[in-house]
Amino acid sequence: MPTELRVLDDGAWVSVDNERRVPTSDIWRFAATDFCGCATAFVLLEAFTRVSVTGREVSVDGVGRCVDCGEKRTFSGLGVGRVLDGSFRPYPPDAVRARSEPSV
Ligand SMILES: [Zn+2]
């Protein structure tokens, strides 16, 4: 069964199979991404613009803001979870996931 992915509520949520699963209110750690001047950027997601799936990984494009320095940028390709056995398993936002980090 295909997994249905959508951006809902003006970019506030990523919906997986008609359930709101990934909110913009979380802070994600970007350690390998040159998001701002901070060594590790802690990025509050402000809006999602696109959700897609590559292989098993679900990734999003959107806009975020570094909570330490205030830099606001768009990003693409942030991995937010995986589809395993037909169900969505979200990643913890504060984990170090260098291979799932976005580009800016
Ligand atoms: Zn910063």
Tell me, yes or no, whether 67 lies in a domain. Answer: yes
Find the mean pLDDT for residues 9-30: 95
> What integer best gives the mean pLDDT of the chain?
92
CA of 103 to the centre of ligand 1 (A): 15
pLDDT digits (tens, 9 = 90+) for 43-82: 999 999 999 998 899 999 999 999 999 999 999 999 999 9
Q: Is residue 69 part of a domain?
A: yes
Measured in Å, residue 3 CA sits from the centre of ligand 1 at: 34
The CA 65 to ligand 1 mean position distance, Å, reads: 8
Determine the number of helices (DSSP H) and then strands (DSSP E) in the chain.
0, 8
The reply to whether 63 falls in a domain is yes
Number of domains in the chain: 1
pLDDT at site 64 = 97
| 3-state secondary structure (DSSP) of residue 93 | coil
Is residue 15 packed enough to be buried (19+ CB in 10 Å), middle (13-18) or exposed (0-12)? middle
Cα-to-centroid distance, 33 and ligand 1 (Å) = 11
Once rounded to an integer, what is the mean pLDDT over residues 4-13?
95
Q: Report whether pLDDT(1) > 70.
A: no
43 alpha carbon to ligand 1 midpoint, in Å? 8
In the chain, % helix, strand, coil (3-state, to 5) comes to 5, 55, 40
**Is residue 98, in this structure, part of any structural domain at all?**
no
**Parent domain of 65:** 5-93
